[in-house]
Every structure is written in C-alpha cells, then in structure tokens.
C-alpha cells in the first residue's frame, strides 16, 4: 500500500496531467496541504515510485524561466493509478462515519465522534 506522501505525489501528478514535473508537483502539494514540500522528499519519493513501477519519468525540454534547465516530467502508470485508487478506497472506508472534531469537554482531547 502507498504511503501518505506517495499518494499526495501521485494525486498531484494526476491533477497536473501532462504538466506534471518537480516544481509543479511541489507547488500543488504545498497549496493543497499547506505543508512544505522539500526537493529532497519529492525526488526521493519519485525515485521510489518509479522503482515500484507506479510512475515513469523523463527529462523534458529546458525553459527560460528555469535558467535553461530541463524538467523531470512525470507520468503515472496504470499500476500507479490502481495503487492510488486502492489507497483512496481504504482511507475512505476506514474514515466512514467518523466526524473529526475537537471535544469541548474538560480534557480537550481530540475525539472521533462515532456518528454512525
């Protein structure tokens, strides 16, 4: 099964389609999750996903705004789509019926209100 960050990367790639490459993926993850996406974490994850056969990468054309440097383009494979779908299903299934909210009781613990 995929890890959380691996799923985020695959989901960002799917949303970006043919425009999925390092900087765009990082920007999408940062915008969506509000967390920093470091180059190290991203490129290590891309390597891991590629070695699992979940994505394919290739060097794209260099552009002026990148100082004439090439992009690492990412394409999600059929296997990647299947793994991401499985992850999404599992997360949706396990989260079913849970309303996440902070308790107003004395101890103020985070509780999962089972409102089935």
Nearer to other proteins, 58 or 99 (CB): 58
Nearer to other proteins, 59 or 85 (CB): 59
Size of the site for other proteins (CB under 8 A): 20
What is the SS3 assignment for 35?
coil
Between residue 8 and residue 67, which ones bind other proteins under the rule CB under 8 A?
Answer: 21-23, 26-27, 38-40, 43-44, 59, 62-63, 65-67
Cα angle 59, 60, 64; round to 5: 125
Nearer to other proteins, 37 or 84 (CB): 37
Q: Could you tell me how far CA 24 lies from the centroid of its own chain?
A: 12
Cα angle 89, 6, 50; round to 5: 115
- Give the Cα separation of 84 and 8 in Å (integer): 9
Q: Residues in the site for other proteins, rule: CB under 8 A?
A: 21-23, 26-27, 38-40, 43-44, 59, 62-63, 65-67, 69-72
């Amino acid at each position: 099964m995929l890890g959380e960050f691996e799923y985020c990367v695959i989901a960002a790639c799917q949303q970006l389609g043919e425009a999925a490459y390092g900087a765009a993926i990082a920007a999408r993850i940062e915008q969506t999750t509000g967390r920093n996406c470091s180059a190290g974490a991203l490129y290590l994850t891309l390597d891991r996903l590629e070695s699992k056969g979940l994505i394919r990468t290739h060097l794209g054309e260099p552009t002026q705004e990148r100082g004439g440097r090439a992009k690492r383009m990412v394409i999600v494979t059929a296997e990647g789509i299947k793994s991401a779908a499985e992850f999404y299903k599992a997360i949706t299934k396990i989260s079913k019926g849970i309303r996440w909210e902070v308790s107003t009781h004395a101890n103020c613990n985070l509780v999962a209100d089972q409102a089935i």
